[in-house]
Amino acid sequence: MIELQVEGMTCGSCTEHVRQALEQVAGVRSASVSYPQGLAAIATDGQVSLEPLIAAVTTLGYGARVANNPNDSAVLFEQALDRPVRKTTQANGEQALHIAVIGSGGAAMAAALKAVEGGARVTLIERGVIGGTCVNIGCVPSKIMIRAAHVAHLRRESPFDAGLPATTPIVLRDRLLAQQQARVDELRSAKYEGILESSQAITVLRGQASFQDDQHLVVALSKGDERVLAFDRCLVATGASPAVPPIPGLKDTPYWISTEALVSDAIPNRLAVIGSSVVALELAQAFARLGSQVTILARHTLFYREDPAIGEALTAALRMEGIEVLEHTQASQVSYDNGEFILSTHHGEVRAEQLLVATGRTPNSRGMNLEAAGVKLNQRGGIQIDQGMRTSAANIYAAGDCTDQPQFVYVAAAAGTRAAINMNGGEASLDLAAMPAVVFTDPQVATVGYNEVQAQQAGLETDSRILSLEHVPRALVNFDSRGFIKLVAEAGSGRLLGVQAVSAEAGELIQTAAIAIRARMTVQELADQLFPYLTMVEGLKLCAQTFFKDVQQLSCCAG
């Protein structure tokens, strides 16, 4: 008879899960598990070693040790798995809270690390590649591709061609792709896989998780078997996937979503893009600069949910580069014949060698049996959460793109951190009132706070100013005055409510605006600040000054 001390059982049903797991181990005749005593008595045929027994229990999320020799059994188990010993108790001897985290992207990693910092032990479950969307198929590879395309564009054309004659670059896509993917692999290894491997308190399970109830997960492991995992708290951080519109004929064609576009080993001669927002426009411009003839089909206007001036400015910039922007245009039918896509629209046919569909992202909330745990979804399939990332189920939290939060990795990470604080008994919330957002087109688009319509919908009277970049010295010396900076203030008080910018390096200036809004600064206070001369961020000061004076009558760096 072998006796194991089982730690972490929270109810009578836990004993049944442990018993079933132990009796599946080869050589075990029977197992008896006591929840009050935290003890498992195992009858064997005499040929069973400790390692598979402890592994069967620990994989469920419980702690396990030989009843009369805790240290040796823990070491045996962890050595058998070739990883460091995990702690199952806190320094004060109390049982560590067990938190299950589904996913391994920005929200999941931030939560796992913060939870461990708070004394919990974590089981992180990932069905695919560690790291989630951002590092693998989103932010990182797309920004590398966009930067390479920017360099290609400057070699082909720049404001200084008279003195620095342009030359048509040769695009070696296979080499650019190898460089891109090498950096992706490097960052995933350093910032995700390496950190998980070095953490004593995090166990990684590879497989698909679904809820059995509000305190147990069923994990279909990648190696083929299945485990029931008990938890005290659980965070769902499964991200989102590209949404594909139900256009007749589309599903029968070899169209791209962003994932395929980013790893394509060739640049198509003609590319059609369905979409009018971030991913569609970033990749459309990148492919155009790498050599594609690009046509964008926008159902409304570009960035139609933002201040209209943003879409107008970006449409003009893209058209100047030879990109065809078809506004108020939808594909009613898509077909593929003889290596060519044919898109039917009310403006006629659009033909292309390749088609990219980038019409938003859908929360990854299906297939997890969330209803069994009492977790409610919104109409878009996003998990409903409060400001503390709590779902409708008391022990289950959610963060990131699988919820109704804005789909940015820095929002997901911030939400994951706060969820971990709350799962450990704290009280943290996420305030998105001054959340900056950046689109990495050229010129960039950056926003924070309210635009005029949003402010007025919130019951605020506004006073706004818009500054052409022709009045920003940095833009003048760059010979690139495309775009604008707009400040939205509260009428009367002058309190800064929001900023919208379309400019080179808009992403670098918007954080200053976010801090100003967070500090409840007025436009007068912003205008009085010192800004370094010949920077794009100085445009914020100049725009603030337009509330009180004519900036055309100022000297270059007038204070």
497: exposed, middle or buried (C-beta count within 10 Å: 0-12, 13-18, 19+)?
buried
> With contact defined as beta carbons under 8 Å apart, do 505 and 444 qualify?
yes
431: exposed, middle or buried (C-beta count within 10 Å: 0-12, 13-18, 19+)?
exposed
Q: How far apart are CA 536 and CA 375, in angstroms?
A: 46
Q: How far apart are CA 325 and CA 302, in angstroms?
A: 9
Specify whether 543 is catalytic.
no
Specify whether 234 is catalytic.
no
Q: How far apart are CA 170 and CA 41, in angstroms?
A: 71
Query: Which residues sit opposite 99 in a β-bridge?
Result: 122, 233
SS3 69: strand
Q: How far apart are CA 211 and CA 213, in angstroms?
A: 5
Q: How far apart are CA 303 and CA 482, in angstroms?
A: 17
Q: How far apart are CA 470 and CA 476, in angstroms?
A: 6
- Within 10 A of 368 (CB to CB), how many other CB atoms are there? 21
- Within 10 A of 165 (CB to CB), how many other CB atoms are there? 7
Check 35, 134, 336, 397 and give the catalytic one. Answer: 134
Q: How far apart are CA 242 and CA 466, in angstroms?
A: 35
- Within 10 A of 489 (CB to CB), how many other CB atoms are there? 26
Q: How far apart are CA 103 and CA 110, in angstroms?
A: 11
Q: How far apart are CA 483 and CA 44, in angstroms?
A: 76
Check 139, 304, 336, 410 and give the catalytic one. Answer: 139
Specify whether 11 is catalytic.
yes
Check 35, 145, 304, 556 and give the catalytic one. Answer: 556
Q: How far apart are CA 430 and CA 410, in angstroms?
A: 12
Specify whether 9 is catalytic.
yes
Please name the amino acid found at residue 28: V
Check 397, 423, 435, 557 and give the catalytic one. Answer: 557
Among candidate residues 532, 434, 536, the one with its CA nearest the CA of residue 488:
434
Check 1, 35, 62, 320 and give the catalytic one. Answer: 62
- How far is CA 63 from each of CA 111, 158, 395, rounded to the nearest angstrom? 21, 63, 20
Q: How far apart are CA 126 and CA 402, in angstroms?
A: 15
Specify whether 450 is catalytic.
no
Q: In what order do the strands lie in the sheet with 28-34?
A: 28-34, 39-44, 2-7, 63-66
Check 9, 145, 368, 402 and give the catalytic one. Answer: 9
- Where in the sequence numbering do the catalytic residues fall? 9, 11, 14, 62, 134, 139, 556-557
